[in-house]
Structure 1
Amino acid sequence: MSLKQRLDEDVKAAMRARDRERLGTLRLITAAIKQREVDERIVLDDAQVLAVIDKMVKQRRESITQFDAAGRTDLADKERVELAILQEFMPEALGEAEIEQLVTDAIAASGAQSARDMGTVMAQLRPKVQGRADMADVSRRVKARLGA
């Protein structure tokens, strides 16, 4: 079952269960997916749907940080609930050792020697780690390995 189909089934289940919080978050996800499909005039595959959900996860994390700093625990709690629902659709996160191994393999496979080759290394890593690791963290690791 594709991610979009799973989302549709979860929306139906949330409607039947009258779970307003879950339904609202699921509708936000489907709206973001449809918006991107309309904007780009394409049908998103699972990898692209994951990218949309990953972006929403990052937004929620940033919002939680800002709401906590402002003392708005009510809004931060709402964002945490949405974040938990969003993370249900994300693949299992990679561990530190797995990320290091993927970075090592990508550098070896691309033959990267310096920071100039970082783009090719990241291009190889992106499909493997998208949604499973923080891309900024992966980028820092590659940069450190290439001596940038």
Structure 2
Amino acid sequence: LFFPIINLQALSWIWDPEIPNLGFDFQSYSAPLININNIVTCSLFLFLYLLVFVGAITNENRLSPIQIEVLKQSSLIGFFSLATSSLYILIQFVQVPPIVITISFLFYIGSSIIPGLAFVLFNLSVRQTVIRVFTCSSRVTNPPHVTI
């Protein structure tokens, strides 16, 4: 192995938005494996989106409504992962103002929350089940079948 498996010191700059204000050298906190992961993530997402959208445009058979909903869900989920990876690549190689670090942290939080929200917002059966659970409906004796 070229790098230690876990290097918590290398990861500390990602979670400390005060590092640019304190004059630390951000290069001393480099984490090459995170960069490799983020570059691969960005490349794969962009390539797959290109394939899907070019295929959807040139395909003689139009997408069915279910395929469109799945495409919306996966695009929303993938966008936040792509944005987070892109911002972390930027942070690793360029010294950025604290607002960019804050935005990247919000995208990181969004990439954790958005998958659940996408299923609740776009998937009718999941949305109905969530509404039934939170409204404590006494009419429901058996939970409905949830399709994903």
Give the TM-score normalised by the residue count of structure 1.
0.29
More helix by share: 1
Which of 1 and 2 has higher RCO (CA within 8 Å, sep 6+)? 2
